[in-house]
Structure formats: C-alpha cells, structure tokens
Structure 1
Amino acid sequence: MKDLYLKINIGENDVRIIGICGMGGIGKTTLARLVYNQMSHHFESKSFIADIREVSDKCGLVSLQKQFLSEIFHDECFNFFNVLEGSDIISHMLSRKKVLVVLDDVDNIQHLKCLVGRHDWFGLGSRIIVTTRDEHLLQSCQIDDVYKATTLNLEDALQLFNLKAFQSDTIPKDDFIELSNQVVNYADGLPLALEVFGSFLCGRDATQWRSAIERLKRDSNKEILNKLRISFDGLVEREKNIFLDVACFFNGEKKDFVMKILEGCEFFPDIGIDVLVKKSLIKVDNNNQRLWMHALLQEMGRKIVQEKYVDDLGKRCRLWKEIDIHHILTKNTTTEMIEGIIINSKVTEMIESTTIDNKRESSWMLNLSADIFLKMKKLSLLKVLCLSNCDNLKYLSNELRLLDWKGCPLRSLPSSFQPDNLVALLLPYSCIEQLWKGNRPLNKLKMMNLEGSQNLIKTPDFTTALNLEVLIL
C-alpha cells in the first residue's frame, strides 16, 4: 500500500492518473476502494464508478458519462445523447474542480477516452485511479504511473483467510491449523479465493472442512473460475490457444523453448505472449527464463478444455490428466481431435495397478501398441515422460511440432512420418539407431537432442535443417 500512496502523492498540486493492474481476484478494486475512502476528504468532489466493463456492455458509454457527472454534481440533471457531447461537458465542468475519481474494471480504451480524456479536463490536485487487468491498455493512454497488484505472501494470506473463516486474525487451534494451511496453499495468495473459501468454511466443523477440501480438489469453485475467465474470454483465438497450451503443458517451462514450439504452431507467440503478460494471465520470471501461470489460472484453463467434451475424453484437444490418459489408452478411444498429450509415470502406475492384480512392480513400464497414435491425425505436441515399450510404432502425425520422448524404445521413427513441421525432436537416451531412411525435410527444426542414444549409427541429413539452433548428440 505504501508504494501506491507514493504514486498517488496527494501532496502535489498536479493532475495524476494512476493505474492499478493485476489478474482477476487479486484485490485491485479493494485497494482502490481503500484509497478512495481514506483520501476522499482531501477533494472537492468524488466519484467511484464500479464494474465499468459490465456497465458499459449493458448500458453504453453515454450512460457511464451521465453516472460520472451525476456523482460529481448531485443536484444537476444531464440530458445528452452522444459520447462527444458528454466528453465536452465533462472537460468543461471539471476543468477547475479538484476531484478524486476511481474507474473500476476498465477493459477498453474508449472507457478512458470518454471519461478522463486528458489531464486538463480536471482541476489541479485531481487524482484519477484506474483499475484494469490489462497493463497494455494503461500504456496506451496518458497514465502517469502504474501500481502492479501482487498475490499475498503466506503470512498475509493466512491472516486474511482466518478473518473470513474464524472472524479473527489469530491462528486457529487443533485440527484447523493443518486444514487452514491446505486451503491457503491452494489459494496461492489470491485474495478472492481466500475470501470465498474462508466465508464458505466459516462456522463448519473439521469433518466438513475435510470434505469441502477434497471436493475442491475435484470440482473447482465456480465463482472464482468465472471471475478469472473474464480475461480469457477477451482474447483472440490464437492467444487462447497459447494460454491453453501453457496451462496444459508448458507452465514453468523455459520461455525460449516454448516460444519456438508455439511459433511452429503458427500462434505468433512474440505478440501473443506479450498480450497474455499484459493481461496478467501469465508471467515471465525475473531472469526472463521461464513462463509462470498462477495455479488457479492454470486450473481455469484446464477446466475450459475439460468442459468442451465432458464425457468423451478422446475428443478433447489436450490431454494431461493421468486418469483421462489411462482411460483412452486402455479403452482405445483416441480420436483425430487430440492435438496435445503428455504421458507421465503416474499413468504407467495406474495401468500397471489394473493389469497385474493390483501388484506394483519396482520399475514401471508403459506398453504402447503399434497403432496407439494412428487416429491422432492432428497431434502436434507429444511428451512421453516415463519408461515405455513399443516394438514397432506404425504412425506418428505429420503435424507434430514437439516430440519429447526420453528413453524412446523405437529403433527408428515410423516410415510414413514426415517431419516437415517438427520444431523440437527430443529423444535423449533412446534406442534409436536411425531416425529414418533417406532425406526428410527439416525446414522448421530448431532443436534436436539424441544425447545418450548409444545405438545411434547414423544421423539424418541436416542439409535442409537451415533453422537448426541446438544439436545434442
């Protein structure tokens, strides 16, 4: 809060427009309301316009302008019918008035243009605070400074949760200590989640808490996910695909690597990643090395994928959940709609536990049939992160951009496979002797890793691999 007050700096006799940005549910409106309540007595007039995105969609910009003016001039009636006229009235009537204005949940530059077009629309000493999820929107306007709201640290998160769950900021006793920590860890510092969970659990006993926490692991809280989804719904299709790929496959991965794959998918990640960062949907760590997504945003993204085909797992475009992959592999219900799949050791454990009289072996081995990927014609991302066995794979999609299969048991890739679209071929410690016979087009290939593949007798012809950046043999 101290940094925000320093940016607002009501002691200076100038006009300042300050932005507060961050992901949904992080507390932007709460911060703005707190500032508004504490500072409003320093100003001649004040206005707090809440839910601007929603009000604008339902009632239009002129209605917003009338609401704004009515809150400043209580005894006046305003009759105008177009935005330009409203803007003229605002600039004329407020140019000599010291006001405090909060514009909450702005998602369109037109909101700012029609309500706070320029600094000289307001009298000296005025302060305008804008809350938004979109940092780029603030950068596009004459914003003087931006305060980036962050998630709460563990201590503050626990204090907020306790206030809601126990109506006290003191540490709970007995069973509730561990249960509270579980909920706080799940919320991952997001104030909205802490408040919703705390209010729901307030007054319930420990048994009910345990039941609620187990249910939460399976069925996410709709109120929270719907709030987070607002930003996703405002994306264009390619940006949505980038978000979903990060949520399902690439959270925590190196940015440079992910950018290469997404570029191969023709998602234009240079601009797409920037849009997601500016909309507070993903972050890039301080060293610009890895992409990071809040746990609840990741859960929201994965929920979007799951909800499209609730009962038909084979029709989902992305598969990462062990129980779902276990189902399609054992029931052979794959379809051509699958575009990405990640198979890890937990899938192997589930398959082994159902095929060997529930007796688990010390070394898990995933047995893949020769035609396991035959129906996956659109498969572009394949990651196999477990020990596997496959004697003679018949088919791999020519749409593959990423093939990541450590310890791949194949001696060669399927003869029908054409790596025209392949960006990254990662087969370390594999049984590969020769990737394929003859020359294959490698125009998009940027990374190849065959480290530790001791059976390798011949490398491919790299004549067409003009974009190759990383080669590990």
Structure 2
Amino acid sequence: MSLLPSTSSSISRRKYDVFLSFRGEDTRKNFTDHLYDALKRSGIVTFRDDPKLDAGEEIASELFKAIQQSWCSVIVFSETYAFSGWCLEELVEIVKQKNKKGHKVFPIFYNVDPSELRKQKGKVEQAFVEHEWRYKEDKILRWRNALTQVADIKGWHLNDGHESEFIGDIVRKISVKLCQMCPVVHDKLVGISSRLEELYSKIEIGEDDVRIFGICGMGGIGKTTLARVVYDQMSSHFEGKGFIADVREVSDKFGLVSLQKQLLFQILSDEGFNFFNVHEGNAIISHRLSHKKVLVVIDDVDNEQHLKCLVGRRDWFGLGSRIIVTTRDEHLLQSYRVDDVYKPTTLNDNDALRLFNLKAFDSETVPEKVFIELSKHVVKYASGLPLALEVLGSFLCGREAAQWKSAIKRLEKDSNKEILDRLRISFDGLEEREKNIFLDIACFFNGEEKAFVMKVFDGCEFFPDIGIDVLIKKSLLTVNKNNKLWMHNLLQEMGRKIVREKSIEEPGKRCRLWEEKDVYHVLTKNTATEGIEGMIIDSKRESKKMLSLNVNTLSKMKKLRLLKVLCLSNCDDLKYLSNELRLLDWTGYPLRFLPPSFQPDNLVALLLPYSRIEQLWKGNAPLYKLKVLNLKGSQNLIKTPDFTTTPNLEILILEGCIRISDVDPSIGVLSRLELLNLRGCKSLRNLPTKIGGCKCLKTIDLSGCHRVGNLPKNLQQVEFLEELDLSETDIEKPPSFIFQFKYLKVLSLNRRKGPSSKLGTNLPSFFQVFQRGSIESMPLMLHSLSGLTSLTSLKLKDCNLCEGDILCDISCLSSLTFLDLSGNNFVSIPSSLALLSKLQYVGFSNCKELRLLPELTSTEAVNLDGFASLELVPNPSKVCNSEGFPWFMGLHCYRLAENFNVLKWLRRRFKHHAISRKKFDVVMPGSEIPSDS
C-alpha cells in the first residue's frame, strides 16, 4: 500500500506535545498529577507549570512561550477554574494559537457542566462578578469569549467515574492524534489517513501492557509500507526501537541467529553480542529487553520459528512495548495469539488513480488528455493493488502513448513478471492439494458459490475444509458476503500463468484449459494429452469455425476431472466421457442420453440445464458420490431417475421440466437432500408420498406446478424446512401442518390471477361472476399463523383475501421482515399488523378495495401501486416512519396524491434526505412536484 499524507497533517516537531492548563489548588495534587504522569509514561512531552507560580498575580511570559511551542493544549476545567485570572489568561492565548496556527485544544470537564461554561452560569457567573471588580472590561470580554469557544469543543466528561480509566482514555486518544500528526518522511504515499486512524485505535500505545499486533494481507497490498509509516511516527514514544525487514528472505539466506543479533543491535546499539544458536539468542533478548519499553516491527514473517526467536513471549519486553508483525498468513498470527490483526484493503478507484499518476507522471493528475483513458485501463487492470500500480506506473513513466497502448495489449496476454513473481511467493509455500485447489479456482471457479465448489473439491479428495481455509488465511482467497469465492484478478492471473508455464507452446500438454483459442486449438488439432484435468468449452466467439467434439480428442483425456461446456451443439458422435469426471456442467447438452460407456462412479455434480436429454441412464448406474443434479429446463426429460443409486444427493433441480408428471417414489431414500426445485413443472401431479424420508430438506419449490392440488401428509416429517414456495399451484387450502414448521423462514402462497383451473373448466362463464363483478378464484384458506415462529417472509399475492381473511394472530410473526398482500380484496387491514416491529417491506399493490392503511411504524418500503381507492392516510409518518426508508411506490394512487398530509410528509422527507444525502425513491401521481420549502 502507498499512503499520501495531506500537507495539513504533517507538522514540524515542537518543543512540547502537550501544554497542561489547570487550576492548581483544585487538581494539581490529584487528577492533574496523575494525568501528567500517564502522559509522561506514554512518551508524550508535556509542559506543566511550576507550582511556585500559583501565588503570582500575573501570568509568566514563560507560559505564553510554552503554549506557543506546544502542539496541543489539554485544559482541565474544574469547579474554580474560572476564578483564576491566570487560567483565563492562559485560555485566551490558547484560543489565539488555535485560531491563528491550528493549535489543537482538548478540554476536560472535571466534574463541571460544559453548558455552565458556555452560558457562564452558576459558579462561573460568580467568578466573573468578582473579576469585574478587579479587571478592565476589555479583558473580561476576552476571557468570556475564550471560555465560550473552548466550552463548545467536544471533550471528555468526568462525573463520578473511575479516574484511572478516564485518564487512560485521554492518553490513548492524544497518542493517536499525535502519531497522526507526526511528519512522514515517505514521499508519494496515498490513502494514509483512514488506515492510520484504525491502526492506532488498535495499537493503543497509552496502555502499560505488552501487545503483539499483526498486519496481514496479500502480497503487494502495502503491509510493509504501512508498518514503516507507523514505526516512524510512533518510535519517539518508546525507549528503544527495531525494524527487522524481509525476515523470510534474510532467514533463508543467513539464518535466525543473524535476525536476533540485528534486533539487539537496533534496540541497544551494541554489536558485542557473541552467540551462535537460537536458544542463547532467546535468553539474551528476554534478559536485556524485559525492562525496556520498545517498538519492534517484524516484517514479512511466514514461519512460526521467526516469531519464536524474535518475539518469544510477552514478558521478553518491558511494559508498554508494542510488537508489530507483517505477514501474508493470518493463521500464523492466530496460532501465536496476537492481540489484534489489521487487514489492509485494496485502494479505491480514486486513490488508485492518484497513486498510478504519481508514479507515471510525478503528478496526481494526468498532464495530457491522450493518457486519461489509458491510465484508467491500467488502473482497472491493477484492481487497487498498490504493488501493481507502482510497478506499472514506473514502467510507463516517460513513454509515449503508442508505447502505452502496446504495453496495455501485452498485459492482456502476459502479465508483468515483477508483479506475479512477488505474488507467487505465497503459492510456492502451499502443499500440493492446496496448490490444486488454488489453480482450479483461478482457472474455473473464481466467483462461484463456496458450498458448491467445496462439494466438487471434496469429490477430488482435496480436503477443501482445511485447504480453502489455508488459502484464505494466506491471503490468496476471500469469501464475499454472498458466500462466493473471490480471488484478486492478479492472483488469478498468477495462477493461470503457472498453468501456462507447464507448456508455453502446446496447450494440449497443460493440466487445465480455459481460454477459447487454446481449447479450439486442442480440439481441432487433436493435441489433447492424458494430463488435462479440467477444461471449459465456450465456442460462442468461435462459432463461425463450427467447433465440434472429436471422439478421439476426448478419449485421450483419461484424467479429466472437470468439464464445463457453455456453448457447443455439434457433437453427434460423442461416445466417450472420462470416468474420472467429478463435475460435468454442460448447458444445452444436445443428445438424448449420456454415452453408454460413461461410468459416473466419481461424479459429484451433474449439471445439464436446458438439455435435450430424455433419460439420464438406463439401469442402476452407481452414483454414490453424486451430490448435485441440475436438469433445469430439460423439456424432453420424461421421468426422473431411480434415486436408490444416488443416496448422497443434496441438491435436485428439475425446474422447467414440463413433461415430468411424477417424481420417482425412491426420492424417499435421499436422507441428505436439502433442496428440491420443481418450479414450473406444469405436468407434475403431486409429490411422492415418501417425501417424508428427506429429513434434511430445507427448501421445496413447487411454484408454477399448476396441477399439484395437495401435499402428502408425511411431508410434515420434514421438520427442518426453511423455505416453501406453493405459488401458482392448485392448492386452495394449504394443510394445517405447514403452519407448524417452526424453522420455516419463507412461505409463498401467491395465486394466479383470474379463475382457478377447477372453476374455469367446470362452471359456465356466468357462474364465474362473483359479487365484485369480476372473475375470482376461491379465497385462500389460512390456518393459524402462530406456529411459524421463525418466519421472515410471507407472500400472499392474488389470494382473493377478503375482510377478516388476514388473521389477527399475524402479530405473532415476530421475525417477519417481508409481507406481500398485493392483489387482494380487503377494505381494511388488521391493526395487529402494526405490532410487527421488524417489518421492512409491505406490498399492497392492486388492492383496489382498500381505503385506509394501518400504522406501520417500522416499515422501510411500501408499495401502493394501483391503490386507486385509497383516500386517507391520517398520519403518513405512521405508515412509513423509518428515517432511513428508501422506497415508497404510489403509482396510480390519484386520491392519495390529493391528500394534503401526504404532500406535507413528502416535503419533510425531501428536507431530511437533502441534509443526510441518503438516496430514497418516491413515486406518486399528481400535477406538481412537492417543493422543499
């Protein structure tokens, strides 16, 4: 990382760090004395006046000079502070330095109320009454103004608290501020402020304990640079210091003893240590440094032995010492029980561009227009990695635009060697299985769901539970908030380069193929070898060349574990697939059957979405390792397979398989099945009666299964169900047991618009006209909702619900955050809806009869689209009261738009969000836009 201080944050060293202003007779012998000692112990140079001066009437000139030579003032406002003309004169000078020279001021309100100081009431008022008898009016006015200004500054308040804790907090915060303001000698550093603030808050140099602290991240992210800045800024607060750089490299070349001697020399400036083994070094370090407050940085550690011989135990160092360790391996820090870890992030786009420009143009801006877009290309490639930005910026510095364009094109083909070599250090230290996991992710699985990839790797016997954790701890991989694997694009490129280097000229000799041109070469030239373990075929760009699978080509790939085919239709003679396949992912598989010679014993995931397959296999193919089966959109599939040979199946997706009328009853043996997706299976008549055997089911999706009219009773045995979607089925009265699933989080009972299938086919059209003059289905029959204690989402759209159909016990759904009641026929909503304290979204769109909204004080988003009849909202703030609500849809609510209260509410919202700068959406019909005044 590279970090740039702003000019205002850098100061020249002053004589004092802190000037203490206080009333001697109030606090000199107690609070102020303890505070002074604590500041001194933390290495903060503090000025405190001579106690002999207390009796003097006039402030000494030395005190003015001390204020001017201090970086900040700490003012202890005690009960009688304002009675001292001396203190008030100090205060005037402090304010003068603050306003003219940026002198920092930190007030402490020691058992006094800041408002009394600001308003000059109580004892402060008494003090000024006395002063007015003795001093001139202009001096009194200066004192009053100074007191008011300082009392307005945010400070520390002590009211009957523990003074030791209070003082510790003050010292820590002043230490952090001082470190941030110290001069930084490093030039061209970008993005320092936020990182240093977070770092210092963790390090807490004001405390008297010994702390070990880690800075961890991928290669090139700036760990060493950041540690160096912290070291330079903090070292003056310690009795000794040492920065042991490049520990990994030095240890390999010269051994651990040389590092121990370097540590002792840097701290003690003594070259006379004559020892020859690590154990002697340990003894000397612990003896000589155990009473010394030191700051030590151990840089680029990759082995626990480095920590054992340089850090040892905390009692090796004196109280107040701080040890900072930089490493790529988070597990190393965890196993050594460090106190805290800081993980630098990549630079944001603006800082990345600034850093690159500084290296390429020696300026934060691009001097010539022609380089603007070129610079953005390079910055995008670097993805915020400081190492890449610095290396590429320096490489392109002084070159012409044509050379820039050439270099950028070359980067697309072959990444910069210096960057990738630095990144490769972490890869080279991996075990063989971890290397395979890393390369598979780099070539095939970057951005994929972690859970799915773990299943595949488990089938490859890569032991992914520990392997992926190792990669994460070594900063080679992360898992994002959506639980997807994410690898920095330069790490991905490094992994792919490692694969290419196995055979630069002939891709058929590599172990993994992912680039279209390489795959095209191998398949058309028939250069495949047995060493190929993974391949992606995507012929969309090469479609004009009519890429086809040659039977001889695939037959050579005996070790093929992973095959992903994204676009390939010309493979009529496919007769062979490797029996080593763990993943077969073929979108639009064009054949009716899998090759008869294929023995899928090792298959973990079979993904054939939108295929033409009619039957997976004939007979009982052994598929004991199969965990994922996805046949989504395979419209020729006539029946599901016999599941007795797939007992470990966890995910079954048959969505859109419109010809399937029944699910094989053997599904009951799938005791590990977690997800069953039958969405849009229009011919499906029911679920098999043995579905209760799927004890681990968490998700069932039957939405769009129009012919399914009931659920088997033994479904109630699936007690851990979390999601159930019965939308647009023919179920008019859901069985009571589904309202007793205590782990259910999502329940969708949305209906189709228009007549039900039963009414529509069995009754004449004139009998279908109900009391509201429109064709309606029978209303959904709801049971008590009180058993759904975990429910977070309830969808009841177009269920023909009328007055009283929404049960009052809906208030029992204490976890509910999402409720959709759109397209129903009630006139009013139960007031119990207002008791849903966690409700964030509620939908009332197309509820044409509803005339009055309930109070929904916690709701963040409301949809009233098509709410034509709504006339009154007594207090709109009670409909959507959340200050942070982002969304209000009132399209076609013409009568609502005429309501003055609503417009008044909108005006208030405009004002609130204009101040907070938060985004929010309001859609309303009307003839004018509400003003913000």
Instruction: Give TM-score scaled by structure 1 length.
Output: 0.95
Deviation at 1:310, TM superposition (A): 1.2
What is residue 128 of structure 1 aligned with on the other side? 323
What is residue 400 of structure 1 aligned with on the other side? 581
Question: CA 1:72 to 1:19, structure 2 compared with 1: closer, same or farther past 3 Å?
Answer: same
SS of the residue corresponding to residue 443 of structure 1 reads coil
1:35 aligns with 2:230: yes
Query: Alignment partner for residue 147 of structure 1, among 342, 353, 372?
Result: 342
What is residue 349 of structure 1 aligned with on the other side? 541
1:339 aligns with 2:533: yes
Distance in 2 between residues matched to 1:134 and 1:329, nearest whole Å: 41
Deviation at 1:304, TM superposition (A): 0.2
What is residue 450 of structure 1 aligned with on the other side? 631
Query: Alignment partner for residue 220 of structure 1, among 408, 415, 422?
Result: 415
Distance in 1 between residues matched to 2:321 and 2:497, nearest whole Å: 43
After superposition, give the CA deviation of every residue in 1:394-450 in whole Å (9 maximum; x if it has no partner).
100000000000110011111111110000100111111222221111100001111
Distance in 2 between residues matched to 1:200 and 1:11, nearest whole Å: 43
After superposition, give the CA deviation of every residue in 1:134-169 in whole Å (9 maximum; x if it has no partner).
000000113111000111000111111111111111
Report matched runs for 1:4-403 at 5 Å: 4-287=199-482, 289-344=483-538, 347-350=539-542, 352=544, 355=545, 366-403=547-584
- In structure 2, what residue type is equivalent to 1:64? L
Structure 1 gap segments, 5+ residues each: 356-364
Query: Alignment partner for residue 604 of structure 2, among 416, 419, 423?
Result: 423
Distance in 1 between residues matched to 2:554 and 2:540, nearest whole Å: 17
- In structure 1, what residue type is equivalent to 2:525? K
Aligned residues: 459
Distance in 1 between residues matched to 2:593 and 2:552, nearest whole Å: 15
Larger radius of gyration: 2
SS of the residue corresponding to residue 584 of structure 2 reads strand
- In structure 2, what residue type is equivalent to 1:466? P
Distance in 2 between residues matched to 1:127 and 1:471, nearest whole Å: 54
Deviation at 1:89, TM superposition (A): 0.5
Contact between 2:605 and 2:628, CA under 8 Å: does it hold in 1? yes
What is residue 915 of structure 2 aligned with on the other side? none
What is residue 125 of structure 2 aligned with on the other side? none
Deviation at 1:366, TM superposition (A): 4.1
Question: CA 1:454 to 1:351, structure 2 compared with 1: closer, same or farther past 3 Å?
Answer: closer
Deviation at 1:351, TM superposition (A): 5.3
SS of the residue corresponding to residue 524 of structure 2 reads helix
Query: Alignment partner for residue 463 of structure 1, among 644, 654, 668?
Result: 644
What is residue 361 of structure 1 aligned with on the other side? none
After superposition, give the CA deviation of every residue in 1:357-398 in whole Å (9 maximum; x if it has no partner).
xxxxxxxx6432344411111111000011422223110000
Distance in 2 between residues matched to 1:218 and 1:13, nearest whole Å: 54
Distance in 1 between residues matched to 2:245 and 2:618, nearest whole Å: 65
What is residue 615 of structure 2 aligned with on the other side? 434
Deviation at 1:326, TM superposition (A): 1.1
SS of the residue corresponding to residue 367 of structure 1 reads coil
Distance in 1 between residues matched to 2:533 and 2:563, nearest whole Å: 9
Distance in 2 between residues matched to 1:277 and 1:167, nearest whole Å: 36
Contact between 1:348 and 1:366, CA under 8 Å: does it hold in 2? no
- In structure 1, what residue type is equivalent to 2:201? L
Distance in 2 between residues matched to 1:470 and 1:419, nearest whole Å: 17
After superposition, give the CA deviation of every residue in 1:3-38 in whole Å (9 maximum; x if it has no partner).
111111212222111100000000000000111111
1:414 aligns with 2:609: no
- In structure 1, what residue type is equivalent to 2:597? S
Contact between 1:447 and 1:469, CA under 8 Å: does it hold in 2? yes
Structure 2 gap segments, 5+ residues each: 1-194, 655-933
Distance in 1 between residues matched to 2:348 and 2:368, nearest whole Å: 21
Deviation at 1:170, TM superposition (A): 2.4
Distance in 2 between residues matched to 1:94 and 1:464, nearest whole Å: 67
The two structures, once aligned, show a CA RMSD in angstroms of 1.2
Contact between 1:370 and 1:391, CA under 8 Å: does it hold in 2? no
After superposition, give the CA deviation of every residue in 1:184-211 in whole Å (9 maximum; x if it has no partner).
0000000000000111111112111111
Higher relative contact order (CA closer than 8 Å, sequence separation 6+): 1
- In structure 2, what residue type is equivalent to 1:63? S
Distance in 1 between residues matched to 2:366 and 2:204, nearest whole Å: 36
Contact between 2:434 and 2:471, CA under 8 Å: does it hold in 1? yes
SS of the residue corresponding to residue 451 of structure 2 reads helix
Distance in 2 between residues matched to 1:75 and 1:375, nearest whole Å: 67
Contact between 1:62 and 1:86, CA under 8 Å: does it hold in 2? yes
Contact between 2:508 and 2:528, CA under 8 Å: does it hold in 1? yes
- In structure 2, what residue type is equivalent to 1:399? E
SS of the residue corresponding to residue 152 of structure 1 reads coil
